[in-house]
Structures are given as C-alpha cells and as structure tokens.
Amino acid sequence: MATPGATTLSDDTGPIPPALRGLLPVLLALPVLALAEWTLGASPFATYLLSVVGVNIILAVSLNIVNGMTGQFSIGHAGFMAVGAYIAGVTSLSLKEIGIPGVPVAVSDQLLFVEALLAGGVCAALCGFLVGLPSLRLRGDYLAIVTLGFGEIIRVFVQNTEAFGRALGLSGIPQYSSVAMVYFWVFLVVLVARRIAGSSHGRSLWAIREDEVAAEAMGVDTTGYKVRAFVISSFFAGIAGGLFAHFVPIINPGSFTFVKSMEIVVMVVLGGLGSTTGAIVAAIFLTLLPEGLRSLFGAMGAEGSLAQKVDQIRMPVYGVLLVVLMLARPQGLFGTRELWDVLPRWLPRKKKGLT
C-alpha cells in the first residue's frame, strides 16, 4: 500500500483506445481543414499566400529535424524540394488525361495528386539517402558542403533537361493543390517531428546533437540515426516541392536556388534550433514579412517601384534580423523549447502520468 502523499505512476491509459491514438489527431484535423478550404474558396490571393506559408512551414520543420534535433548542417534543402517538385509535376502531367473508374472526377484528381506527391517525396528521400549515407559518416561541415553541391547539381541538371522544360521551366501542371491539402501535410510533418522528438529515436538524435562521440561510445548508431533523420527530412522537402508545383503557374530552376535554401535555414535558426513550434512561427513571420513591407510602403505613399523591389531588399532584411538575433538571443526565439514551454507560468498545466 502506498503511503499517503506518495507519488505513483498512474495505470490509467485514458478513454482513447490505443488503436485510435495515432489516428485521432488526423481525424480531428480533417474537418478543420475542410472548413478552412470552404471559407477561403472565394479569395484566390489568400489561398495562394496561405499555401506559400504552408509550404515554407513544411520545409522549415523538416529541415529542423536535421539541423535542429540532430545538430547537422544542411544547406541544400531547396535541391530536395526541386526533386519533389519536378517529379510530382511530370507525374501529374503524365496522368493528366487519366481518371480512376468508378469514382467522381474531383476525387480521382485528388487521388492522382496524392500519388504524384508521394512519387516526388519518395524520389527526394532516395536522393537524401544517396547523398546522406557517404557524407553523414563524417563529422563537421562535410554535410553542408555536400548538400550545397547537390542543390547546384539538381538546378543545373533540370536547367539542361528537355523533359523538365530546361531554363524556361515546366508549365501546364494541373492546379490540384488546395489550402486543405497543403495544411494536411503541414499537420503530418509537425506530428511526425513531435513524435520523433518524444521517442527513443529522438533521444538518440538529441544525444548526437549534444556530443556525437559520447553518443557513439554509449552504443548509439550515429550514422544510422543521422541517415534516417536526413531521409525523413528529404521526403517532406519533396512533398513541399510537389505541393508548390501544383499551385504556381510554372516551376523553373530559379525557384530552387541556394538563396531558397538559405531562406529555410534562416527560418530554422530564427525559431530556434530544435524547436518545432519555433520553426513554424519563424516560417510564418518571414513568409508574411514581404507582404507586410509592401503594405507598409503603400500606406506611406512610397513609389510603386519601391514596393515592387521588396523581393530584392528581403534578403538584406533577413541578414539584419539574423545579426540582431545572434547578438540579442543566440539560441533563437525559442531555443530548444516549444511554444507551450515559454507560455506565462500562470496558465494551467496538466501533469501527465502522476496521481
């Protein structure tokens, strides 16, 4: 018998059956996404802007698995995004005139769209495996050099390949993407990242980040864990590229340059290396920043050319933000903590596993 006041672990597993625990978040997210899609159906600009925000969230959260949780440094994420975008785009073009018998056209299109997305994601993951396996066996900045080279190789390859439209880009891709589809994948990548962070796999990644030599001495397969994290990150980058290809009129090599990779790195560093919610907040902020600057310049009565040059001054603004952040808060906005860890202490917090 436990003594009065003693703290014991609870045997209560809760009212949710174990078989539904993994599916419950997905089931709860579907009606919310459907409502958002119905609400934004009459606003093309809001739909486009939210889609761009969602794609950047997927890219930032997926890169955070490698750069944040594992402590590696990849600067070629746009290369994996390009692989997913072009493979998904070519797949959709080849299936454009094909329908699944016995189902409505809209449902058939979405099922084929998901097939194209998975094709792009799997190809990006395969590239991540081929790139990561040799480079992740080494320590230091070798991964950064290899991923930088990979991103440039992909860009030059598609720029000189007729099947991908060469420098003019790939056009005519069916516009199957929607806010609901984009944020369904946002939900999945956040769910996967949080599940990894709280698992034994995640604890091994954190150990590698803190001290790779000590982790290896404790029996952690450092190369295997790093490669698996890199493959997962590359898969979601390919998914983000596939989504991007299906809501823009044309994709070209200029959309996947080194500058795009650095934008994603800035999002991860600004939010805090290792913080999933930090990556989300930073992705939203940096994506909406150019639109905010355009609105500001317009309200100030600035010349039209100045508002149009926001994209050119965007990177210097990012640079200034990073310099200020490194001086004021080197660990990023959230560090390795999540949003709920930095909420005011007066908010009620439920302690799990204790009675």
Q: Binning pLDDT at 50, 70 and 90, where does residue 67 land?
A: very high
Q: Is residue 17 part of a domain?
A: no
- Rounded (10°) CA dihedral 101, 106, 109, 115: -90
Any idea what the CATH number is for the domain that residue 42 is in? 1.10.3470
95-118 pLDDT, tens digit per residue, is: 888 888 888 888 898 999 999 999
Structural contact between residues 256 and 85, judged by C-beta atoms closer than 8 angstroms: yes
Contact (CB, 8 A) for 275 and 338 = yes
Share of the chain above pLDDT 70, in %: 80
Q: What are phi and psi of 251, to 5 degrees?
A: -115, 135
pLDDT value of residue 343: 65
Residue 96, C-beta contacts closer than 8 angstroms, at least 6 positions apart:
174
In a domain, 130, yes or no: yes
- Over residues 242-254, the mean pLDDT reads 93
Helices (H) and strands (E) in the chain, counts: 14, 2
Q: Does the residue 4 lie in any domain?
A: no
Task: Write out the two tokens for 110.
Answer: 């979405």
Residue 272 lies in a domain: yes
Q: Name the pTM for this structure.
A: 0.86
Mean confidence (pLDDT) of the chain: 83
**74 inside domain:** yes
Task: Identify whether 5 is part of a domain.
Answer: no
Residue 350 is encoded by which pair of tokens?
Answer: 């439920």
**Nearest residue to 44 (alpha-carbon basis) of 181, 174, 187, 178:** 178
Phi and psi torsions of 275, nearest 5°? -105, 115
DSSP state of 315: H
Please check whether residue 8 lies inside any domain of the structure.
no
Structural domain containing residue 200:
27-346
For residue 146, which of 213, 86, 79 has the smallest C-alpha distance? 79
Count of the separate structural domains present in the chain: 1
Q: Tell me the two tokens of residue 119.
A: 């094709």
pLDDT tens by residue, 1-17: 444 444 443 444 455 55
Is residue 300 in some structural domain?
yes
Candidates 120, 97, 121, 99; CA nearest to 110 is 99
Residue 26 confidence (pLDDT): 64
| Confidence (pLDDT) at 198 | 87
What CA–CA distances, in Å, run from 304 to 45, 313, 315?
19, 14, 20
> For residues 256 and 244, is the Cβ–Cβ distance under 8 A?
no
Percent of the chain with pLDDT over 90: 45
